[in-house]
Amino acid sequence: MTTKSSRLTRRGLWSVAGLLVVLLVGGAARTTILTSLGRAMATSDPLAPADLAVLTPESGDGGEIEVSDLFRDHVVTRVAVLVPQPTIAEAELERRGVRSHAPPLDVLVQLGVPPNAIVAVPAGEGGTTESTKALAAWCRGRAADRIIVIVSPTHARRYRRALARVWQGPGPLPAIRTTRFDEFRAETWWSTRRTLRNGLEELQKLLLDYVSHPL
């Protein structure tokens, strides 16, 4: 028996197969189509003063830099970091006093954000569903802050849709801001193996999101 999830997955795979065909077609039409898809993924709201910037697990390369610049330029006055629960290996390294890399909170402090301006928000396993629910729940018990959420370019559209489904306020839906320091560019994302792979993976997830949640 074919389940709904398997049908949705099949649709997504067929959609990605169609994109691969587009990649094989040369000319201006291919560039136009792929650029439009890149821009659809990398949606970003206009920058405006806010009370809070949120660093998500999906902020990608340079998320901490983006947040620290917003704080330094007085666009925001506070920073929230969505912190996924550690994996078994990460917890064991911490128990042994080993840090394989600096946590986002430490990076932000090194970039000039004072510790008293940073708050850590538990984000479950840290995926899109968990982090958007964690952010929405945390904000429901607070004042109607103006919020900017930092995500990677490939993830921006899908994160906004997921957040909109669980957002209950107070205040308006947070603005989505993509980091400027990610390698993904809407006009050239298909030209390197790394950004092509990331773009195709995210497009499949975005297409499945539209099929699963049409509105």
Burial profile 149-177: b = 16 or more Cβ within 10 angstroms, e = fewer: bbbbbbbbbbbbbbbeeebeeeeeebbbb
Tokens of 131: 């982090």
At 143 the three-state DSSP class reads coil
Percent of the chain with pLDDT strictly greater than 90: 53
Please give the DSSP secondary-structure letter assigned to residue 176: E
Residue 163 has pLDDT above 60, yes or no: yes
Which whole number is the average pLDDT over 74-91?
91
**Which CATH number does 52-178 carry?**
3.40.50.620
pTM of the model: 0.83
Residue with token string 């008293």: 116
Q: What's the confidence (pLDDT) of residue 22?
A: 54
Segment 95-124 shows an average pLDDT of 89
Q: Which pLDDT band holds residue 171 (cuts at 50, 70, 90)? A: confident
Task: Give pLDDT, residue 26.
Answer: 59
Whole-number average pLDDT of the chain: 85
Q: Please compute the mean of the pLDDT values over residues 150-176 and round it to a whole number.
A: 93
Domain boundaries, the chain: 4-42+185-212, 52-178
Q: How high is the pLDDT of residue 129?
A: 92
What pLDDT does 27 receive? 64
Quote the CA–CA distance of 75 and 72 in Å, as a whole number: 8
pLDDT at 204 over 70: yes
